Amino acid sequence: MRAIGLLIQAFVVVLLTIGAVAFLGFNVVSRFADSPAPVAAQTVLFSIPPGATTSDIGRALQRDGLIRSDLLFRLLVDRRGLDGRLRQGVYLLRQDMSLDEVLTVLESEQVAEQTVTFPEGFRIEEMADRLDEQTHIAGAEFLRIARDEINALADEFPFLRGVPPGVSLEGYLFPDTYQINEATTAGDLIRAMLRRFDDIVTADMRASAAARGWDLHALITVASVVEREARIDEEYALVAGVFANRLVLGIPLQADPTVQYALGRAEGGRGWWKPDLTTADFRVDSPYNTYMYAGLMPGPIASPGLKSIAASANPAETPYIFFVAKGDGSHAFSVTLEEHERNIAQYRALP
């Protein structure tokens, strides 16, 4: 009887060991099958060249940060019977896609025949210009919808209900790469951009902003200025922290990009962001001129990307009140006006 009991115990131990190994293996596989990032800042144009093997495709996907494991990719391709059957072409993929979602796009042959890319920091007029230059979509119709159809779109996208009257979709059209075809209308494209915005601006970001007393509109308005000011990754949260401090203290933001936005298209074919602002420019009477008016502008001045939105939702806790551009993409930050004036004298005197 004792021998039988020992056998039973040994059998149970073996079963538990097998179960533990299987559970561990399942967790490892699941982790490598997950998306590489919880939120993707940009859509990637992924190309499958002629003659590419499954191994070639898997390595390229892992290299571009679109999957965690090329080995698991090859196993899944083999399991679905797709080895040698993935079609050449260009596909739109993101780092927040799971391995299964990536393969579903490749398997369905959703080849991107034509795309349009809007960089971070574009204003809606620049988007319209790009549409006129690169696509069949009329920029004028794109602008009309962005300015006049917010109430109608708010039924489909409830987050737009917080946009004040008289303000456009500026800031809510997420800057990214979008697939279009001959049938794509300006309205179709705007809806795709609003869906991306809703995906990007997570519930956690909105909750963090709300904890500071900012609704979604205030968050995106701040983020749009951060987008136009920050240039290096380490400074996004610092720039956002300076603006947060100024809003709390009631100090005007005094952000040059808001003046550029108020001025509109620069003369002499210099685009929509006038360089080398003059003393007269800073006196332009506009609610978007943050040198003339304290507090936030009526709305965003550009389309912020993920880094600017995330930084504005969680700005750095910093004593800084001022910053000035050094000319190399970075900024000199300061607490007092005296420090700021010294930084201005130092960095604006540089050739």
Closest CA to 342 of 328, 317, 323: 323
Q: Note whether residue 36 is domain-resident.
A: no
Q: Which residues neighbour 154 within 8 Å (Cβ) at sequence distance 6 or greater?
A: 160, 161, 163
- What pLDDT does 23 receive? 40
Q: Does residue 108 belong to any structural domain of this protein? A: yes
* Cα–Cα distance for residue pair 335/170, rounded to 1 Å: 32
Is the domain of 207 the same as that of 308?
Answer: yes
140/226 same-domain check: no
Top-confidence residue, 104 or 157? 157
| 274-330 pLDDT, tens digit each | 988 899 999 999 999 999 999 999 999 999 999 999 999 999 999 999 999 888 889
B/e letters for 145-154, b = 16+ CB within 10 Å, e = fewer, are bbeebbeebe
Calculate the alpha carbon distances from 44 to 40, 41, 165, 178 in Å.
10, 10, 35, 10
Its pTM stands at 0.81
Task: Among 148, 166, 200, identify where a domain stops.
Answer: 200
pLDDT at 113: 74
pLDDT digits (tens, 9 = 90+) for 173-215: 999 999 988 889 999 999 999 999 999 999 999 999 999 999 9
Q: What is the mean pLDDT of the chain?
A: 87
Could you tell me the CATH number of the domain that includes residue 50? 3.30.1490.480
**What pLDDT sits at residue 25?**
42
User: What mean pLDDT comes out for the span 160-168?
Assistant: 94
Give me 76's structure tokens: 């899944």
Beta strands in the chain (DSSP E): 44-48, 89-93, 114-117, 177-180, 322-325, 331-334
Query: Is residue 17 included in any domain, yes or no?
Result: no
Do 257 and 298 belong to one domain?
Answer: yes
Q: How many domains does the chain have?
A: 3
| Displacement of CA 5 from its chain's centroid (Å) | 62
**What is the pLDDT at residue 9?**
59
Domain of 168 in residue numbering reads as: 115-200
Is 191 found in the same domain as 99? no
More confident residue, 29 or 329: 329
At residue 117, the pLDDT reads 93
- What's the average model confidence in pLDDT over 25-46? 61
Question: Are 83 and 145 in a shared domain?
Answer: no
Nearest to 154 by CA among 145, 299, 199, 211: 145
For residues 162-167, average pLDDT:
93
Instruction: Identify whether residues 212 and 293 lie together within a single domain.
Output: yes
Per-residue pLDDT at 265:
85
Report residue 24's pLDDT band, with 50, 70 and 90 as the boundaries. very low
Residue 297 and residue 287: Cα distance in Å, rounded?
6
pLDDT at site 27: 41
In 3D space, the residue among 163, 140, 150 whose CA is nearest the CA of residue 191 turns out to be 150
Point out the domain boundary residue: 94, 112, 130: 112
Task: Determine the Cα–Cα distance for residues 190 and 199; give it in Å rounded to an integer.
Answer: 14
Give the per-residue pLDDT at 219: 97
Range with the lowest mean pLDDT among 22-36, 101-115, 297-311?
22-36
Residue 51 located in a structural domain: yes
Is the pLDDT at 31 greater than 70, yes or no? Answer: no
Q: Is the pLDDT of residue 235 over 90?
A: yes
Domain co-membership, 210 together with 243: yes
What pLDDT score was predicted for residue 133?
A: 94
